[in-house]
Amino acid sequence: MTAVTEEHLGDAVSDLRARLEGVLALPGEAGYDRITPWNVTVPVRPRMVAFVASADDVSTVMRFATQHGLRVAVQSTGHGALPGVGAGTILVHTGALSGCQVDARNRVARVGAGVRWQQVFDAACPHGLAPLSGSAPGVGVAGFLTGAGIGPLVRTFGASSDYVRAFEVVTGTGEILRVTPEQHPDLYWGVRGSKSTLGIVTSVEIELLPITEFYGGALYFNGADAAAVLHEWARWGVGLPETVNTSIALQQLPAVPGVPAVLAGRLTVAVRYTAVGDPGEAARLLAPMRAVATPVLDTVAQQPFAALGAVHADPVDPMPVHEGHALLRALPAEAVDTLLAVAGSESGSVQTVVELRLLGGALAREPRHASALCHRDAAYSMCLIGAPVGPVAEQVVAHSRAVVAAMAPWATGGQFPNFAPEAGAERLRRCYDEDTLHWLGQLASRYDPVGILAVGQVARL
């Protein structure tokens, strides 16, 4: 790449504006500040922002960046935003790619890269069809799927990216490709799990499932019962069938609008539960957790599929966040005691949420079409979320690392791409095994030979 100089860039920017169907904004210009990510702690200050209106716009930006020695990053909601998007970068903002069409007969949705899962719920659920989203309907579809997609029904159906029929991808060379198991199968393998390493997704076609309801919600317990609840959850989860998905979270939720008063300002324990199939059997399977202590709040019931996001009740509004993440191979009683010691009621924990999510089931089996998603054999995912603001800001980060370190004896050493995003070689080695990382690097060299997309969490040789 040729280094960018101010002398020639001015006229070139004017030319780029004229060629884009969408809008180009420089710092200080109207619209530029729309790029503030959902995680407001991440500084995102690119040289310019292209609010693209089509795949052709993305291609134009790629070619412009190549010509002028710039790199290209992509953002929609900014849930996975990372530092590094600065003066040498053009940010492609895909929010205007908001088309969402449902083919109910063939059970397929075609959605633009700016679409959030809630929009797919609104379009699909009236037809009795269900998208395999994440736990938060406000997250973007494309970013979730390029990070493989570990959702609240992952034990039952596997990774959400396994249900992608096709992508439209703009590569680092500016090519616009339709990517399916038959067309560019190498990209189809790699895009499902490698984030923006191999190109920018502008639209995606996903399979919808004929599900109208689920049995689920959350049981919330007093923090004083954390030891009994967490130990029982660890024992109980081992024998659950694949129709059941569950996670448990030690929560210290703030007293803000939307948080029930009974949960605000103190430690509570949330047992999240989703099950498909017979609701009577689902209720029977949950009974041991209902009996372990008296819930302070019980939201579990037969619910329409469109209510799936209420199970985890993830925050919607932008906020400051620091995440920690590890995958665990087991959760024996000793591991539970260790977690309670560093994150339980007597630990002085400054984390907002410390979650354990049961994996296994369909996730552990190889899908019909292999992907770049690694670590399918992990038994649990551990995720920590804290708000690094005010006097505890530094404590949040340090304590998160301390919790992950304490659980290291039971950790696999791996991570999932969408959890606790981070740049750097060490992060990549945690997300991918050696062979997968090698092949992603080879594909990146083929589809982005000058490294236009080498920004943030991308795999390069």
**pLDDT (tens digit, 9 = 90+) per residue, 174-188?**
999 999 999 999 999
Nearest to 232 by CA among 303, 296, 295, 297: 295
Stretch 324-345: mean pLDDT:
97
Predicted pLDDT at 124: 98
322-328 vs 380-386, strand pairing mode: antiparallel
> What tens digit of pLDDT does each residue of 368-407 get?
999 999 999 999 999 999 999 888 888 999 999 999 999 9
35 or 4: which leads in pLDDT: 35
pLDDT for 48 beyond 60: yes
User: Residue 324: which residues within 8 A CB-CB, separation 6 or more?
Assistant: 382, 383, 384, 386, 400, 401, 403, 404, 420
Predicted pLDDT at 318: 86
Average pLDDT, the chain: 95
pLDDT for 320 beyond 80: yes
> What tens digit of pLDDT does each residue of 262-287 get?
999 999 999 999 999 999 999 999 99
Nearest to 47 by CA among 23, 30, 72, 79: 72
pLDDT for 50 beyond 80: yes
- What are the DSSP calls for 302-366, one per residue? EEEGGGGGGTTT---S-B--EEEEEEES---HHHHHHHHHHHSTTTT---SEEEEEE--GGGGS-
Predicted pLDDT at 6: 53
Nearest to 318 by CA among 144, 139, 148: 139
Name the phi and psi angles at 305, rounded to 5: -60, -30
Predicted pLDDT at 1: 53
CB 305 within 8 A of CB 211: yes
pLDDT class of 460 with cuts at 50, 70, 90:
confident
CB 327 within 8 A of CB 380: yes
Helices 226-237 + 333-343 axis angle, to 10: 150
pLDDT for 5 beyond 70: no
Predicted pLDDT at 316: 82
CB 410 within 8 A of CB 335: yes
